[in-house]
Structure 1
Amino acid sequence: MAFCSFFGGEKYTAHFENGSYGVRLFCHWTLPAQRLLQWMGAGKMTAGVRQASGKLFRLRPIFAPAQGLMVFSRDGRGSSTLQAVQTRPLPAVDNGSTVAPGPKGAESDGSAARRNGSETEMEENPEDGRKKWSEMRIDLGMLPGIYARLSKIRLTGLVVITAAAGFGMAPVPFDPVLLLAASLGTGLTSCSANTINQFLEVPFDSNMNRTKNRPLVRCQISPLHALLFAGATGTCGVLLLALAVNPLTALLGTANLVLYTCAYTPLKRLSVLNTWVGSVVGAVPPVMGWTAAMGGIDAGALLLAVLLYSWQFPHFNALSWSLREEYSRSGYRMMSAVDPDLCRRVALRHSLALSVLSFVFPVFSLSTWMFPFTCLPFNAYFGYRAMVFYFQTDRRSSRKLFFSSLWYLPTVLLLLLLHKPRAVYESRINQPEVSEGLPGIS
């Protein structure tokens, strides 16, 4: 296609044809960077990128070229072995239309139109018999849905909700315009982080049923287009937080963006510590909401961060338990795949810690003393589900713990807002303002 032709796609045709599926995807997504390095005169560095891509996938094979699927298996002693599983090509799927049987080579007008309108189509080069990419065509009507999937819109919505909860808990007069600016800036920053995360994980997302239909994996959008979208949303989000909210909130948003893309994302294939780093990332949005309202960080912001930090362990560990085979096949070092006992212990510890944490909020005058007792039945049930998951270790118990975490967090945040100590907040609001004028001038 014109895009890959501009970025030197013809030079890597042989690499695409001979390499494994993961290598082909990795080289495809790094073509813009390689072409940019060549344009800057860094030919040796470009060759190093291609060589490193081959070494990466030889060390951690994802797909065998034609023989079958390479998977990791663990025996009773905890050792991992690499095995080849024979696979066969899937039959073609007809999207909603039935093709009448006919002679070999015959096809209906509908199937021909679909093939001709596909975004990534391979055409035969009559000169040298090699294949080349055709032009990518994107339906503008599909862009909003593609952008939503790139942004992980449900995860971004949860981030915005937690940031709004932090804003609402701050003991200051409510400012809806400031809340809107803080929520929009936080959401745009989250969209950018999630898009960059998908761009970096395309070769590995293709091996998981949960992520194989993401836009970049399905080639519904070019990697350059995705990076431009990530840059635009990230820049607009940080600028909005800096200009319409305050510099501290913008700094937190930028730091969280860097932490998610440059620390959490690569750690997923290196160490189980990625879960702890990811929990820190998830704990920052309520702090951003608090600093947007208050302009600083104090005990209230830190307690909200601890609440989100502890909640993410039972939430994510329960989710990853059902996906541990896929994580292992893709090379992700998650607790559920590397150390299942640690996964269950950590989920139970933090579930019980949430019950204790609810009694700390009244100590710092962030809620009334009715709050921990109102949360008691919810904390007890959430801890019970974590305990069942710890002892039974099956998919059914992990799913129940995961779905319990989905309603637990918004319930606790809502109860926090309902049990704000009004008297303390009103005394804070009614304090006389300090004049900022010159001495003697009112």
Structure 2
Amino acid sequence: MILWRSYPRSYIKALKFTRYFPICHVSNRFTSVRKCPNVIIVPVTTAPFIAQKSNNEIKGLTQNVTGNNIKGNLWQPSPNTEFKNMRSYIKKLSKFRLTSLVVITAMSGYAMAPAPFELYTFLSCSLGTGLVSAAANAINQYHEVPFDSQMSRTKNRVLVTGQVTPLHSIEFAVISATAGLSLLYFGVNGLTAILGASNLFLYTSVYTPLKRISILNTWIGSLVGAIPPLMGWSGCTGNLDVSAFVLAGVLFAWQFPHFNALSWNLRPDYSRAGYRMMSVTNPALCRQTALRYTALITLLSASAPILNLTSYWFALESFPLNAYFCYLDV
């Protein structure tokens, strides 16, 4: 069903610079463009997905062509760079829901810090953290296109399906990272900007490539998740103390039961894409690690009142939940 094998070599050579291949539909099957006057142009990146469509679905793709009468545009550009579409693509490229959670953890760090609340620095810290997180997610997807295409969970991402070009993703990442770090440095303070830059580097240059090398990627990823509350804390106080690291430690420890449980159900996908996850390479260690760090969450929650991070009611109220959490990990 892949068409270009039937085309003349010179035709293929000319087409490879355009990133488009002609596809036509005759008698419920694909044929050479020479045999069909009605040609629909689709991007190369979507050809494998069209090849997997059923005959009825393929008819839907070609319903705008009947005989020699064309009822719509003969072809559609890919990617479609209209502004109304780019807003949706950028939202997906930045992993908006994940970025929102990162911003919330930074806000939590700011709110719990023992310093006066300032609306300007709070908004600057929140927005700057969100922009840096969006840039990191865009770069991550840029690097993982070949592997995302092999996983059911990620095969429909905008870079995999060709809705956004790699150049667009890098442009967005550069603009977002520059704006975010500038906002953190000039609108908050230097320490918060350094934490944001460190997180961007760890996620894109250490965690992302390490996923295919060693299970240590989970520890690096957990460290990345623990830094945003430190950014919020430093944004409010201008420094870091022991209480800030307790807050970050809880989030660091939480990453293991959270991600290990998530990856357990995605073992076939991770194995197919070649990712080195504990759930794939060492299932027993995956369970043990989740239990150990859940117990660590219990200890850190108990230490929070001692360090004046919260009241003793928090330790009493959180203990039954943490104990049940440990029970589920056994």
Q: Deviations over 1:80-116 (max 9, x none)?
A: xxxxxxxx8442674995977x9xx859856x63x61
Distance in structure 1 (CA, Å) of the matches to 2:83 and 2:282:
45
User: 1:400-411 counterparts in 2 under 5 A?
Assistant: none
161, 178, 191: which one aligns with 2:134: 191
Distance in structure 2 (CA, Å) of the matches to 1:260 and 1:341:
26
Tell me: CA distance 1:296–1:11, structure 2 relative to 1, closer, same or farther (3 Å): farther
Could you tell me the TM-score, scaled by structure 2's length?
0.81
| Correspondence 1:163 to 2:69 | no
Give the number of equivalent residue pairs: 289
Flag structure 2 segments of 5+ consecutive residues without an equivalent.
1-11, 20-47
Distance in structure 2 (CA, Å) of the matches to 1:223 and 1:172:
43
Larger mean CA deviation between 263-272 and 300-309 belongs to: 300-309
Q: Aligned residue for 1:177?
A: 120
The CA RMSD measured in Å over matched residues stands at 2.8
Q: Deviations over 1:289-326 (max 9, x none)?
A: 00001101111111111111000000001111111111
Q: Deviations over 1:348-403 (max 9, x none)?
A: 1111221121111111111111111011232123222222xxxxxxxxxxxxxxxx
Tell me: CA distance 1:107–1:161, structure 2 relative to 1, closer, same or farther (3 Å): farther
Q: Deviations over 1:34-74 (max 9, x none)?
A: xxxxxxxxxxxxxxxxxxxxxxxxxxxxxxxx9xxxxxxxx
144, 160, 170: which one aligns with 1:217: 160
Tell me: CA distance 1:108–1:157, structure 2 relative to 1, closer, same or farther (3 Å): farther
Tell me: CA distance 1:93–1:354, structure 2 relative to 1, closer, same or farther (3 Å): farther
Q: Aligned residue for 1:265?
A: 208
Confirm or deny: 8 A CA contact 1:99 1:108 kept in the other structure: no
Q: Aligned residue for 2:257?
A: 314
User: 1:33-52 counterparts in 2 under 5 A?
Assistant: none
| Correspondence 1:372 to 2:299 | no
Q: CA deviation at 1:232?
A: 0.3
Q: CA deviation at 1:222?
A: 1.2
Name which one, 1 or 2, has greater alpha-carbon Rg. 1
Q: Aligned residue for 1:91?
A: 54
| Correspondence 1:244 to 2:187 | yes
User: 1:92-111 counterparts in 2 under 5 A?
Assistant: 94=57, 106=67, 109=70
Tell me: CA distance 1:92–1:183, structure 2 relative to 1, closer, same or farther (3 Å): farther
Distance in structure 2 (CA, Å) of the matches to 1:91 and 1:189:
41
278, 281, 304: which one aligns with 1:335: 278
Distance in structure 2 (CA, Å) of the matches to 1:96 and 1:322:
35
Distance in structure 1 (CA, Å) of the matches to 2:165 and 2:61:
30
| Secondary structure in structure 2 of the residue aligned to 1:363 | coil
Flag structure 1 segments of 5+ consecutive residues without an equivalent.
1-8, 17-65, 67-87, 120-135, 388-442
Q: Aligned residue for 1:293?
A: 236
91, 94, 117: which one aligns with 2:76: 117
Tell me: CA distance 1:191–1:271, structure 2 relative to 1, closer, same or farther (3 Å): same
| Correspondence 1:203 to 2:136 | no
Q: Deviations over 1:114-163 (max 9, x none)?
A: x61141xxxxxxxxxxxxxxxx5422211111001100111101100100
| Secondary structure in structure 2 of the residue aligned to 1:290 | helix
Q: Deviations over 1:216-262 (max 9, x none)?
A: 10110111111000000000000000001000000010011001000
Could you tell me the TM-score, scaled by structure 1's length?
0.61
Distance in structure 2 (CA, Å) of the matches to 1:179 and 1:95:
51
Confirm or deny: 8 A CA contact 1:163 1:289 kept in the other structure: yes
